[in-house]
Amino acid sequence: MKNIHLSDRSRSGIITKFMLLCQALDHRRSLFFQKILPTV
């Protein structure tokens, strides 16, 4: 049971890290497009 709890916690941590990374990449991409493309 403890191993299952640890695996679930690590999995959720990896998912949250992945989501944060995606958010950061989206933010950078939006800033990048704002710099290159004219704002409509």
Q: What is the mean pLDDT of residues 3-20?
A: 81
Coil/strand/helix, residue 39 = coil
Per-residue pLDDT at 1 exceeds 90: no
List the structure tokens of 38. 């004219």
Average pLDDT over residues 4-32: 86
The confidence score (pLDDT) of residue 32 equals 86
Both tokens assigned to 5: 């709890």
Q: What is the pTM of this model?
A: 0.55
Average confidence (pLDDT) over 26-35: 88
Q: What is the pLDDT of residue 40?
A: 57
Which DSSP letter does residue 37 get?
Answer: S
Indicate the burial class of 35 (C-beta count within 10 angstroms; 0-12, 13-18, 19 or more).
exposed
